């Protein structure tokens, strides 16, 4: 799960980043499953699709923050790799789910 992998990464960041990168990565990672769940509970398929888009944005935010973490020298590329692997899988799953929901909407 992206959340647990992201939290493990942020544990290794300096304490000075507690209210910066650590908080931002954790909030973005938690936002992914929260938006998927919220969208699923909404009344319409369009609302669900919108929340999946928000979740996808949060996944991309975590990816960008990983690049920042490496660029600032807080972690090595190898240290962020587990997070990036989860991100890749999530991006594919979200894309597939969105495609299926859009496809079934057209058939109705």
Which whole number is the average pLDDT over 3-15?
96
Q: Where in the chain are the domains?
A: 2-107
Taking the chain, what is the end-to-end CA distance rounded to the nearest angstrom? 33
pLDDT of residue 107: 54
Which whole number is the average pLDDT over 7-26?
95
- pTM for the whole structure: 0.91
What is the token pair recorded at 83?
A: 């997070």
Return the CATH fold of 2-107: de novo design (two linked rop proteins) (1.20.1440)
What's the pLDDT tens digit per position in 41-99? 999 999 999 999 999 999 999 999 999 999 999 999 999 999 999 999 999 999 999 99
């Amino acid at each position: 799960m992206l959340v647990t992998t992201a939290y493990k990464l942020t544990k290794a960041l300096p304490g000075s980043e507690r209210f910066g990168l650590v908080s931002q990565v954790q909030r973005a990672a938690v936002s992914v499953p929260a938006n998927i769940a919220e969208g699923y509970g909404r009344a319409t398929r369009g609302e669900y699709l919108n929340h999946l888009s928000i979740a996808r944005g949060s996944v991309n935010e975590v990816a960008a923050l990983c690049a920042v973490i490496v660029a600032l020298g807080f972690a090595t590329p190898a240290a962020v790799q587990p997070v990036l692997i989860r991100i890749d899988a999530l991006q594919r799953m979200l894309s597939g789910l969105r495609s299926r929901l859009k496809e079934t909407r057209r058939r109705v």
